[in-house]
Structure 1
Amino acid sequence: MAADIQPSVTITEAEGQRVVVCLAGELEAHMALELEERFADPRMLQAREWVLDMEAVIWLDLTCAYALFRAATSAPEPIALHIHGARRSVQHILRDAGVDAIATVNE
């Protein structure tokens, strides 16, 4: 069942200027610190393109969406942010946090 997916944030690919991160489960406020730590990973900071696979995200708390926004906008260099597989409910939260203004968001 989808509800059994444990919350996680995993860098699955880091090649050159591109990093792919898979997010899964219910990402609630208590996960915000882990999100911030993952996005402060040197591989993320060196990349110019972030691809976030959110297909397995069941719920995204507004606090976590803001953590994502802060990470993307405070990167040392401008990044291209692409979000794939986000459910409509997750897209609404991303929009509420302003992430859609700095990213391409695809279902």
Structure 2
Amino acid sequence: MAIDWFHEWPQEALESVSFRFLQEVENIEVKESVSRFMAYVHTSVNQTSKEYLANERRYNYTTPKSFLEQIKLYRSLLGQRSKELTAKMERLENGLQKLSSTSAQVFTSLM
């Protein structure tokens, strides 16, 4: 039988790890703020898990792996949303070009 004990990561370590993983993400100017928020969320979950154990006598485990999965999920969603936003911007630009050309055609036909 093996028992694995995990010690909580300090706030600075969480921020450092999340900031390191966010360095690989392009076009995000708020990396430092996001990394601090990720660390805050993880520590908040740890604190709430302790309260949950005290109140409900049930465990909720958070591990370094769950923190890394949170970062991975954020990066995945950021990439997905970025692609969606780019597609919407292109669609808007195309629509504006159509409106402009139609307006020009209507104006010339009225002359």
With the length of structure 2 as denominator, give the TM-score of the two structures.
0.22
With the length of structure 1 as denominator, give the TM-score of the two structures.
0.22
